Amino acid sequence: MRRILFALPFAAIGAGALAIHLPDPAAPTWSEEDLSLVRSLSLDALPPVPADPSNRVADDPRAAALGRSIFFDTRFSSNGKVACATCHLPDRQFQDDRALSKGVSETSRRAMPIAGMAHSPFLFWDGRKDSFWSQALGPLESAVEHGGDRTQYAHVIGAHYAEAYVEVFGPLPDLDVLPARAGPVADPAAATAWEGMARSDREAVNLVFANVGKAIAAFERTIAPPETRFDLWVASREFPGPGLLTTEEIAGLRVFLGAGGCVNCHGGPLLSDGHFHNTGVPAVPGLPEDRGRETGALLVREDPFNCLGPYSDAQPADCAELRFMVPAGADMLRAFKTPSLRGAASRPPYMHAGQIPDLERVIAHYVAAPEAPAGQSELRPLTLDHTQRHELAAFLGALDPLP
């Protein structure tokens, strides 16, 4: 596909090429440094999905096939109506177009797209999980998302996925002795039943639960960010001149790199640094207080399903991100994970609770750099005129997946 796109202008120009390629005095100048920075944003700069030593089946296609089935299976919920795909719709960039998501009840944050996040050391807006497999366990036990519990899910595996499970992970524990519904969840009956179980039974169930996460993770690792017009343009012959990107979009890219300072946080091929920043996004009245990464940093350390925990397949040396993570300090208060801007233009509303309805107002937010509702915003007000704001929004549009 890419080859064909480039070949067209190449062949058509012929003898006129020299005249056409004389430098245009009005064309923007690019330093070599700028050009290499732009190339570093392209999908071609994305390395292969990194290994996940904490998940020994991370790259096992049988695990991915099992995980894919579970991702779409509503039996993994308290009401039989919720699957991962309820909020992560494959034909909607694995998100749901809502400010807050609807599972068994309503979440207090916005659903996040999944593509490319195998590269992200921490997951969720507050980074309270350090792997895809550990992340997947969160919504399964959340009272507002899937609403179920660990023994329920072990029974679903036993009843509907035993063969595939055993093939990937080995024998299942004796499920008949387990309560129908038990787990360390908000539901009081299930929580009491869990407390009443023998320690060895709880550990056996935890292992099945962790393995459900590991299968889902193997599937999610195959979800790659789709190619965009921007990526094709960077690889094209006319780069950095107009062609697959318009003059306006290219001007917007220059704002992104220069006056807007967006590339500082939205850098690299995913247009995210994977880190946490307080950008002064307003709190939503009526929702519980959200302290962002400050809380997330505490939770990930304590999580029994983290890289250093008993259900991880990693050696401590493999867990550098967790061992050397920034502790929960004041600068992490209301810091949230930088989202990828790939495909962002076509998935409003924006920010961790869908606070900002459209790109125009996202850009206005960055220009104004309002004070944070708690903690310190890292943003400084920008001077961007009307044209530059339009150009910036136009550039973000070029980061949408190709139709």
Partner 1 sequence: MPNLPTRRAILAGIPLALVATTVSAGLFSQDIPENLDLALRRPTDAHHYTVAIGPVEPEVRIGRMHAWTLALADRRGRPIDTARIAIDGRMPQHGHGLPSAPAVTQALGDGQFLIEGMKFNMHGWWEIDLAIDGPAGADTVSFNLVL
Question: Residues in the site for ligand HEC, rule: CB under 6 A?
Answer: 82, 84, 86-88, 101, 103, 107, 109-112, 114, 117, 120, 123-126, 132, 135-136, 139-140, 145-146, 216, 260-262, 264-266, 277, 279, 281, 336-339, 341, 344, 350-352, 362-363, 366, 378, 392
Cβ-contact 306, 214 below 8 angstroms: no
For residue 92, the 8-state DSSP code is: G
Any contact of residue 274 with partner 1 (CB under 8 A)? yes
For residue 358, the 8-state DSSP code is: S
From residue 206, alpha-carbon distances to 55, 70, 169, 201 in Å are: 15, 17, 13, 9
Any contact of residue 258 with partner 1 (CB under 8 A)? yes
The smaller minimum CB distance to partner 1, of residues 215 and 265, is found at 265
Cα separation, 111 vs 107, in Å, equals 9
The smaller minimum CB distance to partner 1, of residues 253 and 399, is found at 253
The smaller minimum CB distance to partner 1, of residues 73 and 273, is found at 273
For residue 337, the 8-state DSSP code is: E
Any contact of residue 277 with partner 1 (CB under 8 A)? yes
Q: Which residues of 105-142 are buried (b: 16+ CB within 10 A; e: fewer)?
A: eebebbbbbbbbbbbbebbbbbbbbbbbbbbbbbbbbb
Residue written as token pair 């992340």 = 135
295 SS3 class = helix
Count the residues of the shown chain that bind partner 1, applying the rule CB under 8 A: 30
Smallest separation, CB 44 to ligand HEC (Å): 22
Smallest separation, CB 403 to ligand HEC (Å): 20
- Site track for partner 1 across 299-338, x = CB under 8 A: ---------------------xx-xxxxx---x-------
Any contact of residue 265 with partner 1 (CB under 8 A)? yes
Count the residues of the shown chain that bind Cu ion, applying the rule CB under 5 A: 1
336: enclosing H helix or E strand: strand 336-337
Concatenated DSSP letters of 236-289: STTTTSSSSS-HHHHHHHHHHHTTT-GGGTS-TTTT--S-EE---PPPPTTSPP
The smaller minimum CB distance to ligand HEC, of residues 281 and 300, is found at 281
Smallest separation, CB 59 to partner 1 (Å): 20
Any contact of residue 248 with partner 1 (CB under 8 A)? no
Name the residues that contact partner 1, by CB under 8 A: 29-34, 36-37, 40, 254, 257-258, 263-265, 267-268, 273-275, 277, 320-321, 323-327, 331, 378
